[in-house]
Structure 1
């Protein structure tokens, strides 16, 4: 059977009426997210925030089939929690992935989405009421922006990483044009922001023939033509990068940049209530700031050898810990038990002091618990912003992608510390148990790091409060929608 697109609308309630008591209809924003929870979570949070304000009609393109069970759960949770948000189903066209052997499954999904992107034009043009604006994920920008230009619909890009990473994306095509046949070189010096050494770039980026690099360059060129960029950050966290983007230092004529962070969950978007209750009960028995929370994101699997070193390091640190274990990139393939990976002896030795799970964790709730004193993280931007919002120091162990650029931003912003020599995906060296033990103990005891994280937490709260920089940015964006 030939694939088709189908539109399914959830029940329309709040947000579908008039604006400000006038006869003008509410603006209709269509969101086009990508794949991977790191991309979907900020989309869901922004949709939630916009829907909660009222006066704006939201629809969300749901790409089928989803890559992971977590994605399916979160989509279902969003529409259940916000019945005013309309669901628009997009069935992907067939895609032969055999041309990209061994490629990351989420990178393949992005490519499949790009190759089906022309179908989005039908959804935008045929929507009722008419679409006032589109908000697309950056991974689809090079295909969505031209479609919206042709339909004369404003298009904004929701950038799910740091402003530092946004500046690298915007400048990278310019850098390549300047370097010519020299390629990437040893460093990418982003004007007004920072010099990014080659080892800190996303791993595939130096290979100009890599699928990721081609997507990255295409999207970097396209975002300059967007009507605006929405970034989950706030001005006090990344002042240099935001200033350089806004004043045209990075790329002349760059679109308006709206700082809308730090985005938080509004309502419940997934299950796991029993697990959440169990974690809360255990955390409630621990002293204040005594627990190390360990998690490396939704799509970052760590080798079994490295997992064993982490286990030994946590045990030797004598710190309490809550560890979310992940052994595969796609959760549907993750069927190993905790004891299969770490062994019964380890679990018996740390019983009562450590908790290890492969299940769902409400990370915001965990980080917001007073017992948590440190977050050992891959430095994905969602994790960084959640730690910043809760005032929990973050010990960054980048695993790949944008993580090292984000780690630079978190250190300069005062969120935590980064072990620059710790290896990431594709590098041979194991980080030893002794290194992990010593660094965890060091950062847990560092009053200066704690004070800095607390300051960032206060700045984040001020940004989203009435009159704050992020609240003003959100108001400006909504006003622009209503003027469309």
Structure 2
């Protein structure tokens, strides 16, 4: 190994792992080959997710460590595609802490060990690992700056309810710009479990406190999108080592049919179908790589799409056997036949970037996961928001209230939309007579492209991060 050695440690959930791998690709492409050496840490079941980045950058090293033995993780759940509930998610975070000692052993036996660890925000314990090793730890946040600011405040201040039975009691975050506030039920399920006494929750809180003490922070956002919150984070952390590097771009040469899994419809068929549609007349519907709607929600959504008469593409996560048995993920019988020609249903992975970039797509009904938000922002597509969990309510606030590039339609995992209201919203979202929303979305898209162009704010931040990393090579371990 030559040059500056960095250990990259993704959290094994698809929405976390993919953006960090994309950013790793960005680091390598932004610097002279050979001057930065990357080792990526994964557990065996997630090794296949490195195929694309390894095919583009064969110089990357891999460190494959066995998943720590634990009785609290359901069999097979240590896979990036299987984390669908807060119990498994929290147990996963806790279990990965068991890699501390194997990492110490690997580091001390390595002829040219890393000078820094770049790890996901859910791996806060790696800050203490870095301290034990005498190196630096950099947090990678796949969430935006507003969401991260609220999370930091929440885990640091530990707000509770005055009435433990009132799920609608409002919690305010007055230390965060614009003083965001949310009903209790919209706070992170992980946090609510912690307040409820989950024994793994203390480990998670310690990790977020360790994030605040870490040497640097990388956020997948850009200055024109969340500048006020980036300034807040720098003030909160007490230093300027906060780098906004978004929107992080997909790895070049990525095959959209294999990037996230298999699909029931080929990319060529999807694009061919969209090519036959008028500009801005298609609604794209997708709830991310993890969410599976209940059958009553599926029926209401299908009926709304059918009644609306609009053209649509509906991407549906393929339900597992457990989902089907539990009453989740069933497409209503006969629906696809009734909307044939007007609607396209994709089961499994959808090439979302290609779909959103197509001229025919005029609106995106989304769960407001940050990766989906960024893809829509980059392509200038207005959004219809239905946040379900985690940071999605925070993202919806940014989009609807502050940026005004989205319309709030529903909220929460328990909501069953009225199909008549849904049909109306879908029709209005692709009308020609309301251009203000689309114009704001277009301006934000232009700002995103400027940030990632030569000389743009995100490019400069990547270059600054690399300069800091290479400087560590001469100072680490002294």
Give the RMSD, CA atoms, in angstroms.
2.8
The equivalent of 1:157 in structure 2 is 139
**Matching residue within 257, 282, 296 for 1:291:** 282
Is the contact made by 2:90 and 2:201 (CA closer than 8 Å) also made in structure 1?
Answer: no
Q: Deviations over 1:236-258 (max 9, x none)?
A: 11122112112x2xx36266211
The equivalent of 1:419 in structure 2 is 408
Is the contact made by 1:30 and 1:61 (CA closer than 8 Å) also made in structure 2?
Answer: yes
The equivalent of 2:79 in structure 1 is none
Question: Are residues 1:58 and 2:38 paired?
Answer: yes
The equivalent of 1:260 in structure 2 is 245
CA distance in 2, matches of 1:267, 1:112: 33
The equivalent of 1:20 in structure 2 is none
Which range moves more in the overlay, 319-328 or 88-97?
Answer: 319-328
The equivalent of 2:62 in structure 1 is 87
CA distance in 1, matches of 2:200, 2:344: 36
Is the contact made by 1:172 and 1:220 (CA closer than 8 Å) also made in structure 2?
Answer: no
Q: Deviations over 1:389-438 (max 9, x none)?
A: 11111111101111101111222453632426x2412x3x4112122212
Question: Are residues 1:78 and 2:53 paired?
Answer: yes
CA distance in 2, matches of 1:290, 1:320: 7
Q: CA deviation at 1:283?
A: 1.3
The equivalent of 2:376 in structure 1 is 387
Question: Are residues 1:312 and 2:333 paired?
Answer: no
The 1:216–1:108 alpha-carbon spacing in structure 2 relative to 1, beyond 3 Å, is closer
Q: CA deviation at 1:334?
A: 7.0
Q: Deviations over 1:49-88 (max 9, x none)?
A: 112223322111112234xxxxx54322222232122111
Is the contact made by 1:288 and 1:373 (CA closer than 8 Å) also made in structure 2?
Answer: yes
The equivalent of 2:397 in structure 1 is 408
The equivalent of 2:226 in structure 1 is 238
Q: CA deviation at 1:114?
A: 2.1
Q: CA deviation at 1:317?
A: 1.5
Question: Are residues 1:189 and 2:173 paired?
Answer: yes
Q: TM-score under structure 2 normalisation? A: 0.85
Q: Deviations over 1:420-471 (max 9, x none)?
A: 6x2412x3x4112122212222232231111111000000011112222111
Q: CA deviation at 1:335?
A: 7.9
**Matching residue within 434, 443, 450 for 1:455:** 443
Is the contact made by 1:173 and 1:217 (CA closer than 8 Å) also made in structure 2?
Answer: yes
CA distance in 2, matches of 1:294, 1:180: 35
Kindly tell me the number of residue pairs found equivalent between the two proteins.
443
User: What's the secondary structure of 1:31's corresponding residue?
Assistant: strand
**Matching residue within 119, 127, 149 for 1:145:** 127
Instruction: Show structure 2 runs of 5+ residues with no match.
Output: 76-84, 259-264, 473-478
Is the contact made by 1:289 and 1:373 (CA closer than 8 Å) also made in structure 2?
Answer: yes
The 1:103–1:360 alpha-carbon spacing in structure 2 relative to 1, beyond 3 Å, is closer
Which range moves more in the overlay, 198-207 or 37-46?
Answer: 198-207
Q: CA deviation at 1:365?
A: 1.3
Q: Deviations over 1:349-405 (max 9, x none)?
A: 110111102132221111111111111110000000111111111111101111101
Q: TM-score under structure 1 normalisation? A: 0.84
Q: CA deviation at 1:162?
A: 1.0
CA distance in 1, matches of 2:416, 2:160: 34
Q: Deviations over 1:153-180 (max 9, x none)?
A: 111010010101111122223322x879
Which range moves more in the overlay, 275-284 or 449-458?
Answer: 275-284
The equivalent of 2:428 in structure 1 is 442
